């Protein structure tokens, strides 16, 4: 059933009938599995991959590096939870390497994000340093090409 997750991870729009056909499993079983995945929190939800450049809304994202001092009792978890609590923060990852956390932060302007980092993130007790990298353009996001529509046209010739 891993294939089921792989399929809907790429495209959540398939109907259970289509999934049933593609996987060669009864539709009832597919529905049960999906229900189970929701119940167990294996499937957390569904989102559209939006190409914000095509939309009028202002939308800025940044990747923030965070160096922190882990807490004695709870290690990195408590720090992570504090970061997660901000609604500006889209994603929080614990990293191996020169810094501890990578955060994806969203705002309407670069100024928004700069102020958020300065006033809210860097002031958290235990945060040693931050590094802000603004995302200038998204070429590919969650497996989808947001960039060159040309590359997506069918170049195959009509042969025989």
Partner 1 sequence: MDYQKYMNTRIQSVQPSGIRKFFDIANEMKDVISLSIGEPDFQTPWHIRDEGIRSLTKGKTWYSPNRGFADLLNEITKYYERRFGITYSPTKQTLVTVGGSEAIDLVLRVLVDEGDEVIIPQPSFVCYHPLTVMSGGVPVVINTKNEDNFRLRADDLRAAITDKTKLLVLPFPNNPTGAIMERHDLEEIAKVCIEKDILVLSDEIYSELTYGVRDHVSIASIDGMYERTVVINGFSKSYAMTGWRLGYALGPAEIIGQMTKLHQYGIMSAPTTAQYAAIEALRNGDRDVNRMRDEYDMRRRLVVDAFNDMGLTCFEPLGAFYVFPCIKSTGLSSDEFCTRLIMEKHVAVVPGNAFGESGNGFVRVSYSYSLKHLKIALERIREFLEELHHGN
Quote the strand ranges of 11-114, DSSP E. 60-68, 89-94, 101-107
Q: Which sign does the torsion angle of CA 21, 22, 23, 29 carry?
A: negative
85, 96, 136, 159: residue in contact with partner 1 (rule CB under 8 A): 159
7, 63, 104, 146: residue in contact with partner 1 (rule CB under 8 A): 7
CB 60 within 8 A of CB 113: yes
Minimum distance from residue 101 beta carbon to partner 1 (Å) = 32
Identity of the residue, 96 or 149, whose beta carbon is nearer to partner 1 in the bound complex: 149
Identity of the residue, 123 or 139, whose beta carbon is nearer to partner 1 in the bound complex: 139
Minimum distance from residue 158 beta carbon to partner 1 (Å) = 4
Q: What CA–CA distance (Å, rounded) separates 66 from 127?
A: 7
Residue 4's alpha-carbon distances to 7, 20, 32, 46, 68, in angstroms, are 5, 9, 12, 14, 38
Minimum distance from residue 154 beta carbon to partner 1 (Å) = 7
Kindly indicate which of the ranges 3-11, 66-74, 76-84, 94-102 contains the residues binding partner 1, using the contact rule CB under 8 A: 3-11
Check residue 143 for interaction with partner 1 (CB under 8 A): no
Residues with Cβ within 8 Å of residue 151, at least 6 apart in sequence: 145
Minimum distance from residue 3 beta carbon to partner 1 (Å) = 8
For the chain, the 3-state helix, strand and coil shares in percent, each to the nearest 5, are 35, 25, 40
β 144-145/101-107 pair status: unpaired
Q: Which of residues 18-77 bind partner 1 (CB under 8 A)?
A: 18, 21-24
Identity of the residue, 136 or 158, whose beta carbon is nearer to partner 1 in the bound complex: 158
Q: Which residues bind partner 1 (CB under 8 A)?
A: 3, 7, 11, 14, 18, 21-24, 154, 156, 158-160
């Amino acid at each position: 059933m891993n294939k089921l997750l792989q399929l809907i991870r790429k495209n959540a729009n398939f109907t259970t009938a289509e999934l049933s056909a593609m996987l060669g499993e009864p539709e009832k079983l597919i529905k049960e599995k999906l229900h189970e995945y929701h119940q167990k929190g294996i499937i957390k939800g569904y989102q559209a991959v939006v190409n914000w450049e095509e939309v009028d809304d202002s939308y800025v994202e940044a990747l923030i590096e965070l160096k922190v001092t882990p807490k004695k009792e709870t290690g990195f978890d408590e720090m992570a939870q504090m970061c997660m609590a901000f609604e500006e923060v889209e994603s929080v990852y614990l990293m191996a390497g020169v810094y501890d956390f990578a955060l994806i932060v969203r705002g309407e302007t670069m100024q928004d994000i700069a102020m958020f980092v300065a006033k809210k993130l860097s002031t958290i007790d235990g945060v040693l340093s931050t590094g802000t990298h603004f995302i200038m353009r998204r070429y590919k996001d969650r497996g989808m090409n947001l960039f060159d529509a040309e590359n997506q046209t069918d170049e195959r010739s009509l042969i025989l």
